[in-house]
Amino acid sequence: MEKYEVGRMLGQGNFAKVYHARNLKTGQNVAIKVCNKEMIMRVGMKEQMKREISVMHLVRHPNI
C-alpha cells in the first residue's frame, strides 16, 4: 500500500474493514477494503469474494 496513506477506519463487518485513504500521487480520497483472508477461506466465501472483485472492476462511478 505504498501508493496510499491509510487513515481512520470507516467501518467493519465480519470479514473486512474499510479505511479512509489518500492516493499519494494524486491526492484523491479513497476507501480501501481490507479482507480477512483466513476467515474468508475458512467459511468458504472465496467464490463470493471473487464475484465482488469482478463486479467492482465493471462498475464505473465516481464514488467507487
Please state the φ and ψ torsions of residue 17, each to the nearest 5 degrees: -125, 145
Detail the residues annotated as belonging to a binding site.
33
Binding residues for ATP: 33
Classify each residue of 42-61 as buried b or exposed e, where b means 16 or more C-beta atoms within 10 Å of its C-beta: eeebeeeeeeeeeeeeeeee
